[in-house]
Structure 1
Amino acid sequence: MLDAHPHHAPPEQDTRPNKIAPPPGKSRWIAIVAVLVAMGIAVSGILWRRQQESEVAKWTADLAVPIVATVSPKQGVTGQQINLPGDIEAWFEAPIYARVSGYLKAWHFDFGAHVEKGNLLAEIDAPDLDAQLAAAKAKLNSAEAQVKVREAERNFAETTYARWRDSPRGVVSQQETEAKKAEFGSADARYKASIAEANVNQSEVDRLTALEAFKRIIAPFDGVVTQRNTDIGALINAGSSTSNGPQLFRVADVHEMRVFVQVPQEISSNMKAGLTAEMILPQYPDKTFNAVVSTTSEAINKTARTLLVELHAKNADNLLQPGTFAQVRFNLADTPGVLRIPTSALIFRENGPQLAILLPGDKVDLRSIKLGRNLGTEFEVLAGLSASDTVINSPPDSLSQGEQVRVSKDAPPPPAHEAEVR
């Protein structure tokens, strides 16, 4: 019978050389060294991390101090100008009204014409006035004739009374003498009354004769006719600007022009006689005209809070016209002692305008100031600032009194390893 359990092959013998186990003491030292190295690495890592955290904390604390830029006040304001709207008016300008009623007989100068003083502008036909003058003259002639009659009566009465008065005593009675005296007094009174009436008539003739002269409308001065508001045959009513009479002509003297400017109250103190200005007109954008301040109203308008300033401008070439709008650029006087600071340095809070002044030790002093003119990118400072002060420019909104700041040039850079810290 076959064996039910097959025989196993004999195990192969291991022909590899036998490993030599390390001595027990050496293995222990290796483990100790490994542990020490691991501990050193861990400790150095912890120390390095703590150093980084300390640097980041210091850098963060430095960032909490506001970083500011500073400027020094500038002294003196020169070449300062200000532009304001102005109105150009004629040196003289007069509306011409009729002094007598009638019809326009003729006009001799149209608008735009240059006239001289005394030139005949127009003539008025006034038949009613002519009739009144003729009647007044007739009445005067009658009154003058009456004066002569009364004068003869008076002279006769005076002679009679003198003869009765100088007669020898007993020739005429006293009663007759008194009667002749009374007749003389009555004749003298009638004579004086006739003279008074003649004088009244003469005055009326003189008045109407003067009005007759107003039938001729003449130019009051050398200038330009700027308006003609009537024509031949038009009914003319005597009048003025306060009545119903029409304005027939308007004449303007334009040899020199007056320029009127409303100057805001805050700069009104700069407006002195002799201050120069330049004008720009819309119709001449590439041309400037010179003007000089002549006077001011010496009073502030309560409604607009402005000062009325009058300038004079020569007009030899007749380019300036009455009623023209002009942009007037004033050349303000230099103010060498005034300090100025950039607009960006201003702080506006409940206490009014302030500046942040940098004190020794980089401390902040919030100082109230008094502002002057707005110079565009700069402001004048009239009080509260000295030339030696250092002003913080563009101060943070949160800046407070006595706060510590750092000037921008001293600000530390962030740590190079900031991105490595988590």
Structure 2
Amino acid sequence: MEGRHPDETPPGGKPATSGTVSHRNRWLAIVAVIVVLVLAAQGIWSRHSAHAALERDAEHASALSVAVVQPQKSSSAFDLVLSGNVQAFLDTPIYARTNGYLKQWYADIGAHVKAGQLLAEIETPEVDDQLRAARADLANAQANYALAKSTADRWTGMLKSNSVSKQDTDEKVGDMLAKKGTLDAARFNVARLEKTQSFQKVYAPFDGIVTARNVDVGALIDAGSSGGPAKELFHVASADRLRVYVNVPQAYAQQVHAQQSAYLTLLERPSKHYPGTVARSAGAVDPQQRTMLVEVDVDNRNGDLLPGAYAQVHFSLGAGGAPFTLPGNTLLFRPDGVKVATVDAQQRVKLVHVSLGTDFGTRIAIASGLQGDERVIVNPQDSIVDGAPVRIAAAKPASSAVAGSEPAAGEPPKVAE
């Protein structure tokens, strides 16, 4: 094959020149630079985006997570709910009044008894012996008195005829009076022992239910005369009518009065109401507890309520101008006054001064400072400040801000002790 000169034109094509090659290399270099710049820009942008995302995440993480409630305004009356102790209208322990041994009992726990019904009999051999001895002493005293009286009468008659001296007559009359005193003492002793012997039989003091029986046949009965503690034999309660004692806080003592209506609810049957009436109050506040004792009487002829049970007593109080109310755990007590922490449209904290009204236990009436549309933070930190970023973790309605303490809209607020 013959050789070709580098400058010769190849068959069927254009001659290749050094300028064409240089132009191609230049474009390749430009494309490479552009690719490098694009890659660099992409790397810078990705790093910037990651940094911005990290800053957003850090800012979100630094924002305090809070739960909020809205102020509640009710036009209905407040329902003051306090715990009460249910007691039988009549309730008494029954003790023995004489010593001995239990001969027989006739009523067990749960038995319905009538007033004067025999509950038990006690054997009292010592009392019986004492009574027999006392009756013998009485017979002796009666005989001595009869003799002394007849002697005094004879000497008094003889004194009229001056048959005996005045001194001797006075002695006979004085002896008669002494025997009369001994006779009276013997009679009183017999009567005392007869009454003691009558305590051999234990009777029910009123109509009711036997709630306890603490003795059995043959048990030693000690009435406490030997110096030891007396033992309760039975416990009888009359549960047709009940007394419910409630300690009303000082803030509501003036709003609870006699003949005021109330009703009871039980934890096991919260939907059922048991009507009652305020019978009386102590009329004074306990200086230790700052509460006033109130008695509510409840008709229990159907036997639904049991003495000794725990119940919740509901008192209807005035609405007090239907103020806004908030849970007690939304308040901040600062040196410059009471505040609440709210969340503004920019998700930042705004502290608002408020004036407090009536304290309803778990809820507080807000007399002024709120418009009603604020989002108030529940359980705010003591260190919370104006402008702090927050994020609302769960926007709860007023009825669920504090379990069981906030009513639904339009319902009367309830105040638990």
TM-score range, shorter chain: 0.5 to 0.7
Query: Structure 1 residue 251 and structure 2 residue 262: aligned?
Result: no
Q: C-alpha displacement at 1:307, in angstroms?
A: 2.2
Query: Structure 1 residue 112 and structure 2 residue 110: aligned?
Result: yes
Other-structure match for 1:393: 374
Q: 1:184 to 1:375 in 2, by over 3 A?
A: closer
Q: Any idea what SS the aligned residue of 1:109 has?
A: coil
Q: 1:233 to 1:366 in 2, by over 3 A?
A: closer
Identify the match of residue 323 of structure 2 among 339, 357, 364: 339
Structure 2 runs not aligned, ≥5 long: 1-69, 342-349, 378-383, 388-417
99-108 or 242-251: bigger deviation:
242-251
Query: Conserved in 1, the CA contact under 8 Å of 2:326 and 2:365?
Result: no
Query: Conserved in 1, the CA contact under 8 Å of 2:71 and 2:326?
Result: no
- 1:247 partner letter: E
Q: C-alpha displacement at 1:142, in angstroms?
A: 0.7
Query: Conserved in 1, the CA contact under 8 Å of 2:282 and 2:292?
Result: yes
Identify the match of residue 179 of structure 2 among 163, 178, 194: 194
| Deviation per residue, 1:206-254 (Å, 9 max, x gap) | 11111111111000000000000001111101139x9512100000011
Query: Structure 1 residue 263 and structure 2 residue 244: aligned?
Result: no
Q: C-alpha displacement at 1:114, in angstroms?
A: 0.4
Other-structure match for 2:285: 300
Q: Any idea what SS the aligned residue of 2:283 has?
A: strand
Where do residues 88-99 of structure 1 align in structure 2 (5 Å cutoff)?
Answer: 88-99=86-97
| Deviation per residue, 1:162-214 (Å, 9 max, x gap) | 101xxxxxxxxxxxx7x611111000000000000000000101111111111
| Deviation per residue, 1:128-168 (Å, 9 max, x gap) | 0011111111101110111110011111111121101xxxx
Q: C-alpha displacement at 1:295, in angstroms?
A: 1.8
Other-structure match for 2:122: 124
In structure 1, distance between residues paired with 2:242 and 2:188: 42
- The TM-score with structure 2 as length reference comes to 0.64
In structure 1, distance between residues paired with 2:240 and 2:315: 24
Query: Conserved in 1, the CA contact under 8 Å of 2:324 and 2:372?
Result: no
The number of aligned residues is: 302
Q: Any idea what SS the aligned residue of 2:83 has?
A: strand
Other-structure match for 1:319: 304
Identity, % of aligned pairs?
31
Q: 1:285 to 1:392 in 2, by over 3 A?
A: closer
Please tell me the root mean square deviation across aligned C-alpha atoms, in Å.
3.2
Identify the match of residue 83 of structure 1 among 78, 81, 84: 81
Query: Conserved in 2, the CA contact under 8 Å of 1:270 and 1:332?
Result: no
Q: C-alpha displacement at 1:86, in angstroms?
A: 1.5
Identify the match of residue 222 of structure 2 among 237, 240, 253: 237
Structure 1 runs not aligned, ≥5 long: 1-70, 165-176, 357-363, 401-422
In structure 2, distance between residues paired with 1:395 and 1:278: 33
Q: C-alpha displacement at 1:313, in angstroms?
A: 0.8
Q: C-alpha displacement at 1:92, in angstroms?
A: 0.6
Query: Conserved in 2, the CA contact under 8 Å of 1:282 and 1:326?
Result: yes
- 2:200 partner letter: K
Other-structure match for 1:222: 207
In structure 1, distance between residues paired with 2:71 and 2:193: 81
Identify the match of residue 371 of structure 1 among 332, 354, 357: 357
In structure 2, distance between residues paired with 1:273 and 1:279: 16
- 1:268 partner letter: A
In structure 2, distance between residues paired with 1:126 and 1:300: 49
Q: C-alpha displacement at 1:394, in angstroms?
A: 4.7
Q: Any idea what SS the aligned residue of 1:300 has?
A: coil
- 2:112 partner letter: H
In structure 2, distance between residues paired with 1:375 and 1:202: 66
Identify the match of residue 191 of structure 2 among 196, 206, 209: 206
In structure 2, distance between residues paired with 1:103 and 1:72: 70
In structure 1, distance between residues paired with 2:293 and 2:302: 27
Query: Conserved in 1, the CA contact under 8 Å of 2:71 and 2:374?
Result: no
In structure 2, distance between residues paired with 1:224 and 1:395: 54
Q: 1:259 to 1:320 in 2, by over 3 A?
A: same
- 1:331 partner letter: F
Q: Any idea what SS the aligned residue of 2:239 has?
A: strand
Identify the match of residue 288 of structure 1 among 252, 273, 278: 273
Query: Conserved in 1, the CA contact under 8 Å of 2:77 and 2:319?
Result: no
Q: C-alpha displacement at 1:319, in angstroms?
A: 1.9
Other-structure match for 2:152: 154
Q: C-alpha displacement at 1:353, in angstroms?
A: 2.3
Query: Conserved in 2, the CA contact under 8 Å of 1:239 and 1:245?
Result: yes
